[in-house]
Amino acid sequence: MSDLNDERSRTGANASRRRFLALGGATAATALAGCSGIFGDGGSGSTGDGGTGAGAISLADFRGSGPMVSQRDAPGGTSIDELPALSGELTLYLGGGEGGLYLDLIELLEQRYPDFTASHRLEASSDLANTIIEENEAGASPADVFMSIDAGSLGAVANAGATAALPEEALSTVPEDFQDSEGRWVGIAGRARAIPYNTNQLSASDIPSTVQDFPSASALGNSMGWAPSYGAFQSFVTAMRLIRDDDETVAWLQAMQDHGISTYDDEFRVSNAVADGELAAGFANHYYALRVQSARENAPIDLAFTEGDAGALVNVSGVEIISGTDNADLAANFVRHVLSAEAQEFFATRTFAYPMIPGVAPVGDLPRIDELNPPDIDLSELADVAGTVDLLREAGVL
Amino acid sequence: MGTSDRYERLREQATGATRDSSPPTLLAVVSLAISLLLLSPLVWLFLRAGEIQFGHALELLTSETTVSVTLNTLALVGGVTAASILVGVPLAILTVQTDLPFKRFWTITSALPLVVPSYIGAFAFVSAFGPRGVLADLLAPLGIEQIPTIYGLHGAVLVLTLFTYPYVFLTTRASLLSFDGTVVEAARTLNHTRWQAFRRVTFPQIAPGIAAGALLVALYALSDFGTPAIMQYDVFTRMIYNEFGARRLDYASILSMLLLVMALGILAVESRLSAGRDGAYVSSGSRRPGTIQLGYWKLPAVLFCAAIAALCLALPVGILVRWLVRSGTGYAGGGFSFEMAYAWNSVGLAAAAAAICVVAALPIAYLSARGTTGVSSLPERATYVGYAVPGVVLGLALVYLGLRYVPFLYQSVVLLVFAYVVRFLPQAVGSTESSILQVDPQYIEAARSLGYGPLSAFRQVVLPLVAPGIVAGAALVFLTTMKELPATLMLRPTGFETFVTYIWLVQGAGYYGQAAVPALVLVALSGLSMLVILRREDTS
């Protein structure tokens, strides 16, 4: 574990970019295993010093546990101790299958503030976006806050005019790249596109540094997988359309198919298939590989990142306040809470996402967000999923 | 008895006869009203589809993808239906008509796969037979590097068949149990071989039963999204799903309408096949044909039953238990915890859906069974359309219509239960109708001639006789409601969780260990309602 500090101090982005997961496995495993139990109180973690009384929720409860996490510096940024108390009942729409991970955070906040309850509705993010838009057209949505794993869904709701203003204190803490240009939604956790690969079958050098070179990489022939109906993959293709153009994107999709690629229905399965050796490599969000490792120690999986292209896209989970809410103050305060030091530490250590405030580092050996080389894209533009679906269909992928 | 008395009785019968014609009218109106209410969510499809430009619609419908996906879908539906008949009918014959050892046990194991949600079944199959699954691990030391892939059409057909064939098994079994065995004996005395007797006597009698089950299987295969997606086979529901993801609801509506056209096609085929069903069901009798001696075939028959039970029951349960056991090393964790309230929510919803379905099914089934014109089975046919609507389409339709026309019911359990009734009513109608067909109409005439009014004659004579069929229909609706996912997600009240929404939640977060126990309890609870169905058949 002592190598972890070296890893972090290393400045050569390339080295850490290529093989940072080798050490991450055990760490990641403990980070999740800390809060186990089939019918257990998944919310409060299992750290001994957490306490159970109201207000006794400490930083340790927000953190995953394990040797590496305990070596982390205290997170910077605004602590929830400095924020006004949450009080009242909030209706929260929570978009995305793995949005279930965020329920831990909601439970922690409910434990800390006995007067606060969040009644949540968890569905696929695009379904909830559709629902909110319908609700808004028909009058007012029952939702106060929409929290989604996908900026495209947030953008669609915003474009339909269904959002209310976010508090300035929240917007000012997050880099401009990770919020809406008009301040209608703000990122709360980052999700980097990545190439999970099987370390028994490939080495880091087999993976080109741009996705454009993948169809000509012999090591990747007939051995890759993707999930084209998955929202995160469609965002990646949308990004490629924005950076290059539709014709080149179609050509790339066709070249990948000619090179031989298998289709899965989500990227967690792609990452699992990589760890199983069913695939040599795949297209997926970065944290799925970490979660595979947390489930299975010693799984032969590592991550590579491409540079400056659509394959290096960093998308975000984010929040927005829904127009017509009669809970505007509570909603605004809630948004500030999910951007607090403790909540950001939660996203970093419990969901393996990139924190959105500068004071909190990503988990252990992940490259810092500024070491990644994402393309220059306005994330709101990722809302044009329809054009991407057409294009995927034209290319025979969907 | 004086002549005036006689005259009185005759007059009563005569007016009774005229009154007889008025209740069917009332019955027809009620049935029609119910079926129109159930079809009302489809209005949304037309509203949305109207927004699309004609050129775009034409382009979408004639695109290469649409054509190839349509062919894929038809291949899947055809394959699953044929395979379900090949599995379900022999199992029904073995467990009803032969001297198969442990018949009771095999009856239960043959029916139970219906309680396993097919998405869990599909997941279990990939875990077991996927490229790096349990089987591949077992074979690897023997030097077998690669096993044939489970993904694709054959995998999707296999998994869907194994978890839906019980529809065919149950309906075929019901026909076998109810038909008059003396006819077969008669055929045998006329020098027919067993095969000839089966082909010329038994088969025509049970064919409508087979068709009824096959219809449910075909429509299920058409509307299922989860299983083909996991088995990596591209079908229509995935295309619709992608349009929902792209928030292009007009395109999704056009595609959904095409899906419904396919459903209507399937319904038309089934209607033709079961045209002669009146004769089939009515010639019921309590005498079973003599038991078929399996002889040398006894062992293969037992192995067949055992193989199906192993694939459909032992495998998924084994995989769930494996999740549970492995949860200690990281498969569990986080997420949020299961509460008993979720179980009660599931049971309450399923019970409400079952209760409403049987009440709504009664007039529709009665009209269809007793009606003489083709029109009288129209409401019954209409209920099957709802069964073919993918859950996500129905969900969003009810979000839209609920918000506009019944806002006070939006995100209430009322609207959710309505969605279940739309989807699952045909299951109750089917089993109610078949038991009504088995009631000799002369019983009612007898009751009427004893002075009972039409409603009380129905209550006193028909209802007790059809009660087992009603209970079986209720149980079928109950267990399918328990495992319904997409409409439940979209329509439930905020903060309201059930078995399936919880399993979906923790599975989506990758916490398979936490999904295992609720999934096992769900299967066990639904299994109890399956026992209710089988019990009814034994007593009928």
- CATH classification at residue A238: 3.40.190.10
- Token digits for B208? 């409508």
B249 touches chain A (CB under 8 A): yes
Is A81 part of any domain?
A: yes
Q: Nearest CA of chain A to the CA of B132: how many Å?
A: 6
Q: Is the pLDDT of residue B79 over 60?
A: yes
* CB pairs < 8 Å spanning A and B: 175
Under DSSP, is residue A299 helix (H, G, I), strand (E, B) or coil?
coil
Does A377 touch chain B if contact means CB atoms closer than 8 Å?
A: no
How many domains, chain B? 2
Spatial CA neighbour of B520 closest among B345, B344, B343, B349: B343
Instruction: Give domain status of residue B422, yes or no.
Output: yes
Asked if residue B325 and residue B336 are part of one domain, the reply reads no
Low-confidence spans in chain A with pLDDT less than 70: 1-56, 65-70, 97-100, 364
Q: Is A260 an interface residue toward B (CB < 8 Å)?
A: no
Q: Are residues A234 and A287 in the same domain?
A: yes
**Cβ–Cβ contact B149 with A under 8 A:** no
Rounded Cα distance, B476 and B108, in Å: 15
- Report CB contact under 8 Å: A119, B403: no
CA distance B392 to B411: 15
Domain finish residue from B286, B312, B329? B329
Our CA-based measurement puts residue B71 at a distance from the nearest CA of chain A, in whole angstroms, of 15
pLDDT at position B331, please?
37
- Does one domain contain both B351 and B295? no
- Give the strand pairing for A163-164 and A354-355: unpaired
Which residues, including other chains, have CB under 8 Å from residue B16's CB and lie 6 or more apart? B448, B454
pTM of the model: 0.82
Could you tell me whether strands A284-285 and A145-148 are parallel, antiparallel, or unpaired per DSSP bridges? unpaired
Whether residue A273 is found in the same domain as residue A221? yes
SS3 A123: strand
**CB B244 within 8 Å of CB B163:** no
Say if the Cβ atoms of B243 and A389 lie within 8 Å.
Answer: yes
Put simply, whether A234 touches B (Cβ < 8 Å) is yes
Whether residue A35 is found in the same domain as residue A152: yes
Task: State which residues form the domain around B502.
Answer: 19-42+331-540
Spell out the long-range contacts of A166-169 with Cβ–Cβ below 8 A and sequence spacing 24 or more. Answer: A166/A319, A166/A320, A166/A321, A166/A332, A166/A335, A167/A332, A167/A333, A167/A335, A167/A336, A169/A78, A169/A336
The alpha-carbon radius of gyration of chain B (Å, integer) is: 25
Residue of B nearest to A63 (CA): B334
Assigned domain for A137 exists: yes
Cα–Cα nearest to A352, from A63, A86, A150, A44: A63
The answer to whether residues A379 and A155 touch, using CB atoms and an 8 Å cutoff, is yes
Q: Both tokens of residue A25?
A: 């496995």
Closest CA to B336 of A351, A16, A102: A102
The CA distance from A53 to A115, in Å, is 13
Domain identity same for A168 and A289: no
Within 8 A of A104 by CB-CB distance, chain B residues are 334-336
Which DSSP symbol is given to B441?
H
Q: Are residues B353 and B259 both part of a single domain?
A: no
- Partner-chain residue, chosen from B230, B490, B514, that has the shortest CB–CB distance to A127: B490
CA-based nearest residue in chain A for residue B146: A278
Instruction: Look at A119-123, A284-288, B181-185, B303-307 and tell me which has the smallest mean pLDDT.
Output: B181-185
Q: Tell me what pLDDT residue A132 has.
A: 94
CA of A130, closest CA in chain B: separation in Å? 7
The residue-averaged pLDDT of B317-324 equals: 84
Q: Compute the C-alpha angle B266/B267/B273, nearest 5°.
A: 95
Tell me, yes or no, whether B417 and B511 share the same domain: yes
Main-chain dihedrals φ then ψ at residue B50, nearest 5 degrees:
-65, -20
Residue B372 falls within a domain, yes or no? Answer: yes
- Whether A186 and A42 share a structural domain: yes
Question: B198 to chain A nearest CA, in Å?
Answer: 45
In tens, the pLDDT along B190-235 reads 777 777 877 887 788 788 889 889 999 999 999 988 888 888 788 8
Residue B1 lies in a domain: no
Q: Which of B63, B394, B494 to mutate to test the interface with A (most CBs of A within 10 A)?
A: B494
Same domain, B390 and B517: yes
Planar angle of CA B207, B278, B79, nearest 5 degrees? 25
Helix (H) or strand (E) holding B78: helix B64-97
Final residue of a domain: which of B329, B355, B390? B329
Q: What SS3 class is residue B451?
A: coil
Does A104 fall in a domain? yes
Q: Are residues A34 and A105 in the same domain?
A: yes
Residues A174 and A228 both lie in one domain: no
Residue A51 lies in a domain: yes
Residues of B in contact with A43 (CB under 8 A): 336-337
Nearest to A295 among B335, B501, B510 (CB): B510
How near does any CA of chain B get to the CA of A26, in Å? 11
Q: CB-based burial of residue A216 (10 Å sphere; 0-12 exposed, 13-18 middle, 19+ buried)?
A: exposed
Q: Based on the structure, what is the number of domains in chain A? A: 2
Who has greater pLDDT, A67 or B298? B298
- The answer to whether the CB atoms of B336 and A139 lie below 8 A apart is no
Instruction: Answer whether B333 sits within 8 Å of A35, measured CB to CB.
Output: yes
Candidates B238, B330, B392; nearest CB to A32: B330
Q: Is A43 on the interface with B (CB under 8 A)?
A: yes
Chain B positions touching A229 (Cβ under 8 A) are 229, 238, 241-242, 245
Q: Dmax over Cα atoms in chain A, in whole Å?
A: 59
Cβ–Cβ of A277/B132 closer than 8 Å? yes
> Cβ(A317)–Cβ(A353) under 8 Å?
yes
Cβ contact B229–A265 (<8 Å): yes
With CA atoms as reference, report the closest residue to B150 among B40, B88, B231: B231
Residues 195 through 214 of chain B touching chain A, CB cutoff 8 Å: none
Shared-domain flag, residues B411 and B300: no
String of DSSP letters for A150-202: -HHHHHHHHHTT-EEPPPHHHHTTS-GGGB-TTSS-EEEEEEEEEEEEETTT-
Identify the pLDDT of residue B186: 77
Q: Residue A17 has what pLDDT?
A: 38
Are A157 and A241 in the same domain? Answer: no
- Domain assignment present for B389: yes
CB-CB neighbors (< 8 A) of B333 in chain A? 32-37, 42, 294
Indicate yes or no: CB of B490 within 8 angstroms of CB of A131.
yes
Whether A393 and B504 lie within 8 Å, measured CB to CB: no
Tell me how close the Cα of B404 comes to any Cα of chain A, in angstroms. 6
CB contact under 8 A, B242 and A273: no
Chain A contacts in chain B segment 39-98 (CB below 8 A)? 63-65
CB B428 within 8 A of CB B458: no
Do B274 and B357 fall within a single domain? no
- Partners of A296 on chain B (C-beta within 8 Å) are 329-330
**CA nearest to A118 within chain B:** B495
Whether A49 and A180 map to the same domain: the answer is: yes
- Cα separation, B510 vs A350, whole angstroms: 13
CA dist B277 and B250 (Å) reads 40
Tell me, yes or no, whether B195 and B318 share the same domain.
yes
Q: How many helices (H) and strands (E) does chain A have?
A: 16, 12
* Cβ–Cβ under 8 Å, residues A179 and A264: no
- DSSP, collapsed to helix, strand or coil, labels residue A277 as coil
Residues above pLDDT 70, as percent of chain B: 87
Q: Which tokens belong to A189?
A: 């956790």
Banded pLDDT at B39 (limits 50, 70, 90)? very high
Determine, yes or no, domain membership for B368: yes
Shared-domain flag, residues A257 and A338: no
Say if B410 falls within a structural domain: yes
Of B329, B411, B510, the CB nearest to A291: B510
Kindly report the nearest CA distance between residue B130 and chain A, in angstroms.
9
Domain assignment present for A15: yes
Could you tell me how far CA B313 lies from the centroid of its own chain?
Answer: 18
CA closest to A106 among chain B residues: B336
Q: Which residue has the higher pLDDT, B384 or B64?
A: B384
Touching check for A141 and chain B: CB below 8 Å? no
Clarify whether residues B264 and B396 are in a common domain. no
- A286-321 per-position pLDDT tens digit: 988 888 877 777 889 999 999 989 999 999 999 999
Asked if B494's CB is within 8 angstroms of A389's CB, the reply is no
Q: Is residue B13 part of a domain?
A: no
Burial class of residue B524 in the structure, from the number of CB atoms within 10 Å of its CB (0-12 exposed, 13-18 middle, 19+ buried): exposed
From the CA of A271, how many Å to the nearest CA of chain B? 12
- Going by C-alpha positions, the residue among B407, B481, B361, B401 that lies closest to residue B41 is B401
Percentage of the residues of chain B whose pLDDT score is greater than 90: 33
pLDDT digits (tens, 9 = 90+) for B138-157: 777 777 767 778 888 999 99
Q: How far is CA B329 from CA A28, A35, A282, B259, B513, in A?
A: 12, 12, 25, 44, 10
Distance CA A132, CA A323 (A): 10
Q: pLDDT of A105-151, one tens digit each?
A: 898 999 999 999 999 898 888 889 989 999 999 888 999 999 998 88
Residue B340: both structure tokens together: 């008993």
For residue B416 the two structure tokens come to 């959710």
Residue owning tokens 């949005």: A99
Residue B363 pLDDT greater than 70, yes or no: yes
Question: Any idea which residue has 């959002």 for tokens?
Answer: A163
**A182 shares a domain with A82:** yes
Closest partner residue to B65 (CB to CB) among A264, A385, A398 is A398
Q: Are A381 and A242 in contact (CB under 8 A)?
A: yes
Mean pLDDT of B350-372: 90
What pLDDT shows up at residue B538? 57
Taking only the tens place, the pLDDT of each residue in B441-486 is 788 788 888 888 878 888 888 888 888 788 888 988 999 999 998 8
3-state secondary structure labels for all residues of B470-502: HHHHHHHHHHHHHHCCHHHHHHCCCCCCCHHHH
Q: Are residues B339 and B194 in the same domain?
A: no
User: What is the per-residue pLDDT for B276?
Assistant: 53
Residues B459 and B447 occupy one common structural domain: yes
Tell me which residues of chain B, numbers 299 to 358, contact chain A at a CB-CB cutoff of 8 Å: 324, 327-338
Q: Between residues 75 and 134 of chain A, which touch chain B (CB distance below 8 Å)?
A: 91, 93, 96-101, 103-104, 107, 119-124, 126-127, 129-131, 133-134
List chain A residues with CB under 8 Å of B230: 265
In a domain, B387, yes or no: yes
For residue A368, being part of any structural domain is answered with no
Complex ipTM, two decimals?
Answer: 0.80
Q: Are residues A203 and A186 in the same domain?
A: no
- The answer to whether the beta carbons of residues B409 and B49 sit under 8 Å apart is no
A 174-213 near B (Cβ less than 8 A): none
3-state secondary structure of B116: coil
Nearest partner of B133 among A278, A110, A302, judged by Cα: A278
* Angle of CA points A10, A12, A16, to nearest 5°: 70
Quick one: tokens of A41? Answer: 């109180």
Angle at A370 between CA A365 and CA A371, to 5 degrees: 55
Residues B290 and B182 in one domain: yes
Q: Which amino acid is present at B193?
A: T
pLDDT (0 to 100) of residue B218: 95
| Best CA proximity match to A279, nearest among A217, A208, A196, A192 | A196
Q: Last residue of a domain, which of B329, B351, B366?
A: B329
Provide the residue range defining the domain that includes A288: 192-313+376-394
| A338 phi/psi in degrees, rounded to 5 | -75, -10
Rounded Cα–Cα distance for residues B471 and B362 (Å): 12
Burial A361-397 (b: 16+ CB within 10 A, else e): bbbbbbbebebbbbbebebbebbbbbebbbbbbbbeb
Joined together, the tokens standing for residue A303 give 């991550």
Give the residue on A whose Cα is nearest the Cα of B396: A131
Q: Report the alpha-carbon angle A170-A172-A173, nearest 5.
A: 70
* B292, β-bridge pairs: B98
Q: What 3-state class would DSSP assign to A118?
A: strand
Task: Name A88's bridge partners.
Answer: A116
Cα distance from B244 to chain A (closest Cα, Å)? 7
Give the DSSP H or E segment for A285. strand A284-285
Write the CB contacts of A1 (distance below 8 Å, at least 6 apart in sequence): A23, A26, A27, A67, A68
C-alpha B271/C-alpha B118 separation (Å) is 27
Query: Domain containing B179 — which CATH number?
Result: 1.10.3720.10
Q: Is A42 on the interface with B (CB under 8 A)?
A: yes
Token pair of A55, please? 């207000």
In terms of CA atoms, which chain A residue is nearest residue B333? A36
What's the rounded Cα separation, in Å, for the pair B167 and B424?
13
Q: Are B323 and B512 in contact (CB under 8 A)?
A: yes
Lowest-confidence pick of A252-261, B127-136, B353-362, B487-496: B127-136
